[in-house]
Chains A and B, each alone.
Chain A
Amino acid sequence: MSNPLRPALVLLVAQTAVTGLAYPLAVTGLAGTIFPAKAAGSLVERGGRVVGSELIGQNFASAGYFHGRPSATTAPDPADPAKTVPAPYNAGNSMGSNLGPTSAALAERVRGDLGALRAENPGRPVPVDLVTASGSGLDPDISPEAALFQLPRVAKARNIPEDRLRDLVAGQVRGRTLGLLGEPRVNVLALNLALDELTSR
């Protein structure tokens, strides 16, 4: 048996150069040339300022905007860096709630959110995605039902007739890819940008 150390070392260094440097740099170069906006993170600008990424959800909290799904992301506690505090839609630390199906904390959270939403729009069934945390904590989308559920609140806060808002939402629904893949959805940031546009006119 010949000494395996030399081929092991040479091949490891060569593979590192090819797959670890040349390959990602080649993809970076090509991607930046062919799809510059997407390679940079699909950033959205308004008035020359970056307001977010089309693909990354934001923590909309005011009554006049459509809200995204619950987010379980956290950030280091400013008072004690060893601990974490809730920081919804922290795009530097993606995570889900990881609460199991029989978790009391999950049941409690859902009960609280259900109560608030039912008070906001009584009589309508609450869409499941509005009370469940997404896997990444950064889900940019909600279901069309979840957008429609929020109509009365947004209409009241913005003083716009619900029918105009319903048209706005309908225009923002993206169907399944090829009519088959994934689920119909509404991008919350795009919807809210369109909403701002509508009210500023």
Chain B
Amino acid sequence: MTLQGWMQIALYGAVVLALVKPLGGYMTRVFNGERTLLSPVVAPFERGLYRLSGIDARQEQSWLGYAGAMVVFNGLGFVLLYALLRLQAGLPLNPAGQAAVAPDLAFNTAASFVTNTNWQSYGGETTLSYLSQMLGLTVQNFVSAASGMAVAVALIRGFGRASTKTLGSFWVDLTRATLYVLLPLCLLLALVLVSQGMPQTLGPSVEATTLEGIRQTIAVGPVASQVAIKMLGTNGGGFFNANAAHPFENPTALSNLLQMVAIFAIGAAMTNVFGRMVGDERQGWAILSAMGVLFLAGVLVTYWAEANPNGVLAHLGLSGGNMEGKEVRFGIAASALFATITTAASCGAVNAMHDSFTALGGLVPLLNMQLGEVIVGGVGAGLYGMLVFVIVAIFVAGLMVGRTPEYLGKKIEAREVKMAMLGILCLPLAMLGFTALATVLPAGLAGPANAGPHGFSEILYAYTSAAANNGSAFGGLTANTPFYNATLAVAMLLGRFFVKIPVLAIAGSLAAKKTVPASAGTLPTHGGLFVGLLVGVVLIIGGLTFFPSLALGPIVEHLAGEAGQTFPAGG
């Protein structure tokens, strides 16, 4: 570990924190329907859209109406994307002549993008036409992110309102999230990324003749526009197979910093939106602090693990940190930081191959996802995921002192706790259930490229990433098979909608409650005690649920590696 490394990490944290208030204030105005800087340009277009859709922007929905609208919208998006992938061979903007995507891969990819996961069973430059990347993937990158933000805002309104049946309009929240937040930020970011060397062209691959006279075919494309939304929307699906490790998808150390900032920017600012909308910004900062504590712990472990030589290679007399799967222009600190960020948020973009991380360096990304990606998390998804843990933490505190738990003046009762537990339990069910299945079925065991405990980690990582809607991978796993495509798609859909719908149910039930004034017995939820309690609950639930699986994978592998033991493939 170097001083430069830690200073990069500190600079990153400072930039993200500096953005929380301005971006949070702006997004609060957007979701409250107030005028913003962009209104003169965007509002007429926005009104036209509502007229065309036949919706009244002032008409709000109950939680069921809100959830129904979300499901119908995402369902249609799924069908459109599937159709596009299956038909791409006959559609325009296909200079490389890509064939139709196979049914199981198209199903997996559609599920992957509609759920904001962006799991890549496909290899971008070898499978997809430019049209599929633009009309299919880029669009879902926007709308899946916007629909995550919408659900978070609905939950915030549940806390902020009293004695009402409605949570806002899904259509309006979705539209405003895209037009006022995501699109302008993406335009700006995309151009800055091109200035760093990221291609943005509709031309075909370039044929070059290298200095040694060999022909090199260089894949290019409309990269920057997709990368901007992939980061800001915490989607993570790469234009290229190697994702943000590809020099075109992340050309410089500065583009790397900007992409990392983009991953956290909106998610971190959502905590400020929360604080503002419930009328006490300190509540937002408390939640962000809990996220920050968990994040720093993750960065520390990953950076330390990667800066030390891999045990097996050290036995060969190689010194220096673990550079397998990493790029020279980023080095170890920026790669370890990126890996922690991308799995703390539900992004899943990678600038280094997680599969080749040291055992403990790879454990942190895995654990980040298993905790439910509540450490800043996906845009919207991180906040509502953390608020679900807040409900459990408040409930636990209530049990300890023997009073009805309350949060922000709302009594937390049986219905909220049940729904919170439903949301929390569906993740381990999908992650561990499918992992167990894949480790006993021949179709599952055919997947891993590495043998021994690392092979188990590859399977565990895949289902964890899918259910948590992350999308990063231990890429050695051969996942483009009917078995993995189908089971991973189901895990992604479970992990998305079986959290979102209970969250909306909580929001509906909270909005209907009266607000009770705080009393001397109320647990203050903006201080260090509460932050500690929240961190504890997240770690205890995650730890108890997932420790056995981590022990079988990364922990065993670490011990074997330190002893110099290796595992031959196929053995």
Contact = CB atoms under 8 A, between A and B. Distances in A.
A97 B353 contact: yes
B524 interface: no
Contacts of B247: 55-57, 136, 138-140
B206 interface: yes
Contact of A18 (B183, B203, B214, B224): B183
B567 A98 contact: no
A53 B323 CA distance: 23
A10 interface: yes
Contacts of B350: 135
A185 to B, nearest CB: 5
Given A7-B55, A42-B197, A50 B209 contact: yes
Interface string B212-223: 101011111010
Interface string B49-92: 10011110000011011001100110011001000000000000
B230 interface: no
Interface residues of B, number: 137
Contacts, number: 385
Interface string A4-21: 111111111011101111
Given A41-B206, A111-B316, A182-B253, A128 B80 contact: no
A73 to B, nearest CB: 9
A90 to B, nearest CB: 8
B361 to A, nearest CB: 8
B402 to A, nearest CB: 41
Contacts of A125: 319
A135 to B, nearest CB: 3
B117 interface: no
Given A23-B186, A92-B217, A192-B211, A12 B64 contact: no
B218 A185 contact: no
Nearest to B175: A11
Contacts of A182: 252-253, 256, 329-331, 334
B136 to A, nearest CB: 8
B73 A105 contact: no
Contacts of A65: 211-212
Contacts of B55: 2, 7
A11 B321 CA distance: 49
Interface string B300-324: 0000000001111100111111111
A102 interface: yes
B194 interface: yes
Interface stretch (A26-34, A151-159, A163-171): A26-34
A1 B63 CA distance: 11
Given A10-B53, A106-B312, A135 B242 contact: yes
A155 B514 CA distance: 81
A55 B210 CA distance: 13
Contact of A104 (B257, B355, B568): B568
Interface in A152-201: 176-178, 180-183, 185, 189, 192-193, 196
Nearest to B68: A4
Chain B CB within 10 A, most for which of A27, A106, A114, A138: A27
B211 A51 contact: yes
B453 interface: yes
B68 A11 contact: no
A85 interface: no
Contacts of B125: 92-94
B112 to A, nearest CB: 17
A106 B68 CA distance: 50
A59 B198 CA distance: 22
Given A35-B195, A107-B312, A177-B252, A43 B208 contact: yes
A88 to B, nearest CB: 10
Nearest to B322: A101
A101 B569 contact: no
B178 interface: yes
Residue from A32, A38, A59 with most neighbouring chain B CB atoms (10 Å): A38
Nearest to B448: A100
Contact of A24 (B222, B253, B320, B323): B222
B259 interface: no
A134 B567 contact: no
Interface string A112-153: 001000000000011111011111111111110000000000
A114 B64 contact: no
10 contacts: A4-B65, A11-B174, A20-B136, A40-B220, A52-B211, A55-B197, A95-B123, A98-B353, A111-B316, A134-B328
Given A18-B178, A51-B208, A102-B453, 11 more contacts: A7-B69, A34-B191, A42-B197, A94-B240, A100-B474, A100-B557, A103-B454, A106-B313, A181-B256, A182-B252, A185-B328
Interface of B: 4, 7-8, 11, 49, 52-55, 61-62, 64-65, 68-69, 72-73, 76-77, 80, 123, 125-126, 134-136, 138-139, 141-143, 171, 174-175, 178-179, 182-183, 186-187, 190-191, 194-203, 205-212, 214, 216-220, 222, 224-226, 228-229, 240-242, 245-248, 251-254, 256-257, 309-313, 316-331, 334, 350-353, 355-359, 362, 449-454, 457-458, 474-476, 557, 560-561, 565-569, 571
Interface of A: 1-2, 4-12, 14-16, 18-21, 23-24, 26-28, 30-32, 34-35, 38-43, 49-62, 65, 69, 89-107, 110-111, 114, 125-129, 131-143, 176-178, 180-183, 185, 189, 192-193, 196
